[in-house]
């Protein structure tokens, strides 16, 4: 998870990644987008998605732990 987060920091925020994708597609001729460019964008988006899923899982586990602690108090 830490490796994914460090990679994500190199790529910027998810919003920035989406803007990058849009700018690459706009600046490229719609009839021609290089495969390398698309592969690189796919890797960036996959990393961002992995980081998002990891953070979501972490938050859900903290929430469950909190609920279990509240349950013990009752």
Digit-coded pLDDT (tens) for 4-18? 555 555 556 667 777
First-to-last alpha carbon distance for the chain, in angstroms, is 34
| Prediction pTM value | 0.57
**pLDDT by residue (tens digit) across 51-61?**
889 989 999 99
Q: What is the mean pLDDT of residues 34-60?
A: 86
The DSSP symbol for 28 reads: S
Q: What is the mean pLDDT of residues 25-47?
A: 75
pLDDT of residue 37: 78
- Name residues whose C-beta falls within 8 Å of residue 41's C-beta, 6 or more positions apart in sequence: 20, 21, 24
Stronger pLDDT, 26 or 31, i.e. the higher one: 26
């Amino acid at each position: 998870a830490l490796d994914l987060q460090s990679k994500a920091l190199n790529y910027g925020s998810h919003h920035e990644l989406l803007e990058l994708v849009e700018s690459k597609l706009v600046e490229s001729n719609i009839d021609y987008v290089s495969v390398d460019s698309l592969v690189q964008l796919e890797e960036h988006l996959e990393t961002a998605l992995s980081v998002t899923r990891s953070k979501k899982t972490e938050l859900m586990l903290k929430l469950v732990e909190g609920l279990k602690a509240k349950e013990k108090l009752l």
